[in-house]
Structure 1
């Protein structure tokens, strides 16, 4: 019988307002989680994103804690995300709540959340970085590359990117980037009905790639 995992929510006060962390942890009778995978959302949506929800469902039974982080602007019900500096400040302010359990923390997120993780991970002492749908450039403007921001993470980093993401296809990333491609996926990892794999298949590619990468990380999570 599969254990039922019940998420728990925690409100964290930041200078930008209240943030919220929804914890998805391994079953109580399981060994202590190997690490916490902290995932922020993008600028156009929240933690209900299909990739974040798929990881929150898949990783805890494998021994990884998942913390889905909602930025203060989202908790407050606002429609527009603030400037990057404000996002970084809020993430930095809630970081102590992520490390409070005494576990290594992999900083991550999707789209804008991935950028926040890359910009702050090294300074906060993160163990690694997980970048989902990293917005390498604005759609149609490859000359406005954010490759330096990705490289600045300075830690083991996995990029998971849709094969047809207009914000940067896998082949556009600099050589040496560790990247897992979700075939046919767009910026939200949605796949067209004409693709030769289903939406569930696409998410399975994503979660499997992340789980394998986590298992291969050196240091405390092993």
Structure 2
């Protein structure tokens, strides 16, 4: 699957179209200059797509540090329908797009925001992810402590202080390979009171993510 099945013309980064058992998925690449040290394969939530501010912030920052970013648009989002947003369908699509990252021959950080982080948690061990990045994990549903604790890989959780789907103080005790970072005053989409606070919040997310990825790559 090194060659995409199709490519959609777009303003900005091109989107590769990849057939999956549940429809066509999209991969928007934000490539790091060579040598590439790792790739972050990141999925979106159910309410927003890869245009989410946190995903876009990571896509803007990580390539400058040798980490390519692949933003995955699930088939149900491509088709603008909720059909296929059940648990099994996104996992099946993730399996189909995974070789596009794995074939690069560098460590793959599997992750995403909200529902996308759930897909990463459920599949990380099966697909051989190097680590898991969970943005705004929906602990209180549809996620669960059991799902989060079963990643089998080092995991970074970035969680808003006011996230209604699970505040940091509602998380269970975590083993040493799962790290939880609280994003002050942020909700589930990492919005904070006062528009002037958004750049600082995104900078905190990218800084924490980059420091954590550097630690994970150091153990390669």
* Common fold by TM > 0.5: yes
Q: Secondary structure at the match of 1:19?
A: strand
Q: Which residue is equivalent to 1:219?
A: 219
* RMSD of aligned alpha carbons: 1.7
Q: Secondary structure at the match of 1:122?
A: helix
Q: Secondary structure at the match of 1:178?
A: strand
Q: Distance in 1 between matches of 2:85 and 2:136?
A: 19
Q: Which residue is equivalent to 1:147?
A: 145
Aligned: 1:21 with 2:20: no
Q: Secondary structure at the match of 1:114?
A: helix
Q: Relative to 1, partners in 2 of residues 1:159 and 1:123: Cα closer, same or farther, differing over 3 Å?
A: same
8 A Cα contact 1:43 1:81, kept in partner: no
Output one character per residue of 1:50-93: Cα deviation in whole Å (capped at 9) or x when no partner: 00000000111111110000001111122565210111111111
- Structure 1 stretches of at least 4 aligned residues deviating more than 6 Å after TM superposition: none
114, 117, 121: which is aligned to 1:111?
114
Output one character per residue of 1:108-160: Cα deviation in whole Å (capped at 9) or x when no partner: 0000000000000100011000000000003xxxxx87011001101000000
Q: Relative to 1, partners in 2 of residues 1:41 and 1:145: Cα closer, same or farther, differing over 3 Å?
A: closer
Q: Which residue is equivalent to 1:95?
A: 98
Q: Secondary structure at the match of 1:86?
A: helix
Report deviation, 1:8.
3.1
Aligned: 1:189 with 2:190: yes
8 A Cα contact 2:186 2:192, kept in partner: yes
Q: Distance in 1 between matches of 2:109 and 2:79?
A: 26
Q: Secondary structure at the match of 2:16?
A: strand
Output one character per residue of 1:195-215: Cα deviation in whole Å (capped at 9) or x when no partner: xx7110011111100000001
Q: Which residue is equivalent to 1:38?
A: 41
Q: Which residue is equivalent to 1:179?
A: 180
Q: Secondary structure at the match of 1:59?
A: helix
Q: Which runs of 5+ in 1 are unaligned?
A: 1-5, 139-143
8 A Cα contact 1:71 1:87, kept in partner: yes
Q: Distance in 2 between matches of 1:60 and 1:116?
A: 23
Q: Secondary structure at the match of 1:137?
A: coil
Q: Which residue is equivalent to 2:138?
A: 135
8 A Cα contact 2:39 2:106, kept in partner: yes
Q: Distance in 2 between matches of 1:74 and 1:119?
A: 20
